[in-house]
Structure 1
Amino acid sequence: MWIIKQIFDGDYGCEELQPGQKPKVSVTLENEAGEVRYVTAEDEWLIENGLEKGEVWPLEV
């Protein structure tokens, strides 16, 4: 089971989003063995699924 440890809202700076592209965030995950993984997800998807720090990551890592 992977737990969300941190959500980093990246700053796109001078790199603008392309038309139709949704903002993404970097998510730090940790499992019970202490392994750490990093994934990228659409911010909107996290919000729609009620995912925040401390929640269980629902997808395969």
Structure 2
Amino acid sequence: MKIIKHIFDGDFGCEETGSQKPTVSVTLTDEAGNESYVTVEDEWLTNNGLNIGDTWPEN
């Protein structure tokens, strides 16, 4: 099980990114304290109701 430790929004200001949707970098920690990182679309994170302290979905 991994927990969301930090969410970093790398899109600053109002820059256009073309056809790409805005993404965020998410820091995850497991039970042993090991950190891993994923990048996901901000919209996906919001649609799944995920925030700091929440359990990261395994699939």
Percent sequence identity over matched residues?
A: 64
Gaps of 5+ in 1: none
Check if 1:25 corresponds to 2:20: no
How much has 1:12 moved relative to structure 2?
A: 5.2
Distance 1:59 1:45 in 2: 14
Work out the number of aligned pairs and report it.
58
Q: CA RMSD in A?
A: 1.7
Instruction: List aligned pairs for 1:1-61, cutoff 5 A.
Output: 1-11=1-11, 16-19=16-19, 21-60=20-59
Task: Provide TM-score, normalisation by structure 1.
Answer: 0.84
CA offsets 1:35-61 (integer angstroms, 9 cap, x no match): 10010010000000000000000035x
How much has 1:3 moved relative to structure 2?
A: 0.2
Q: Which runs of 4+ in 1 moved over 4 A?
A: none
Task: Provide TM-score, normalisation by structure 2.
Answer: 0.86
